[in-house]
Structure 1
Amino acid sequence: MTRRIAQLLAGLFLYGFAIAMMLRGGLGASPWDVLSQGVVLKSGLNFAIVTNVIGLLVLLLWIPIRQRPGVGTVANVLLIGPSIEVGLWMLPEPDGLWQQILLLAGGLALLAVATGLYIGARFGPGPRDGLMTGIHRRTGLPIWVVRTSIEVTVLAIGWLLGGTVGFGTLAFALLIGPMVGVTLPLLRVPEASRRVAERSEERAAGGVGQGAGVIRIGDAAQ
């Protein structure tokens, strides 16, 4: 449990920081941020507010694919925005093209690792990544195919609304799917380890016999 909580919080912070790196790079925002930029231009609302509202709307798309939210889903909505602001505060404006490229490349790599961390903690994915994993689960399509398809669709809508598209946007749309396909299996907390931890917690709370019985019933129901 300690590892899962630490992995969730670290992943969410790094996720927002990675987005800030790409924004500071100035070579093009990620597809979801292009969408947020477009909505900001059309509505005049704050970027952070638009990002949170889009996240809540994406949750509605979980209904037809029967994806259930978890603690990680709520934490994503609450923590990503502040972590982006922290990243933008900490990162200086780049002085030249080579620094922009480094920020872009580093942001992409960090985002893939952060996604693997917080989804792998098994507290539930965020709204956008939950849409990815839910479609993957329902259709059987590879994660990288689902992620790339979603990113390209969101990018097109954001561009039509007036969002900024650049080289970094294209790199993100094409590369983040395969990168997450690598990091997610590597960073996922093993299911067996999670069940052992849950059994230990239940035994401590209700007794060895009672806890073991509950687990056996739950396992049989699954």
Structure 2
Amino acid sequence: MLPKPFPDLINHLRHRLQQPLPGEAAHQLMASSARTKLGIRPNERTRRSAVLILFYPYQDSIFLPLILRPQYDGVHAGQMAFPGGRMERTDRDLTQTALREAQEEIGIRVQDVTVLGQLSELFIPPSNFYVQPVVGMLTGRPDFYPDPREVDAVVEVNLNTLLDETIVGDSQIEVRGITVDAPYYAIEGHRVWGATAMMIAELLAVIK
């Protein structure tokens, strides 16, 4: 499936994100067995966070950035993700959280982003976060200035790549000493799985 021209895609997303979302039905397509094996459910310590899914046109194609997290002592070390992070007390809402975190992590300018809407909020058991995906757009390719403490690399993903169904695979990985089945997207030499893959699944359902 070829993507729509950029203005048509943006108009489609702007309209579609105001309609009922596929939510869990789409999420389940790429959900790992860790979600049930870890046995973690939302509780009084669950925190709120947001990520930014940011479309922009470049060289007659449509792109969006993912980030590669550095290796550190944490559950999401070395993983591919959308830029984002936890909500701060000074944030007006989760949309501001997504924009602020994206500016801090990859150097995009908040004032250049047009927000189109939101996908379904998603619970992430390993880190005990609810994450709100916010969808936005830029009129052109930005200059990226990744924060080396938060980002090992910015990976610019062509929407054509995400629309290619042959990038979907399945693997077994170890999470907190437990072996889990993890569907993934093979993107630019990386395996994108977990919550990020589930968000991509809903995004693709909305686009298609």
Please say whether Structure 1 and Structure 2 have the same fold, judged by a TM-score greater than 0.5. no
TM-score when normalising by structure 1:
0.28
Quick check: which one's strand share is greater? 2
Structure number, greater radius of gyration: 1
Quick check: which one's helix share is greater? 1
TM-score when normalising by structure 2:
0.30
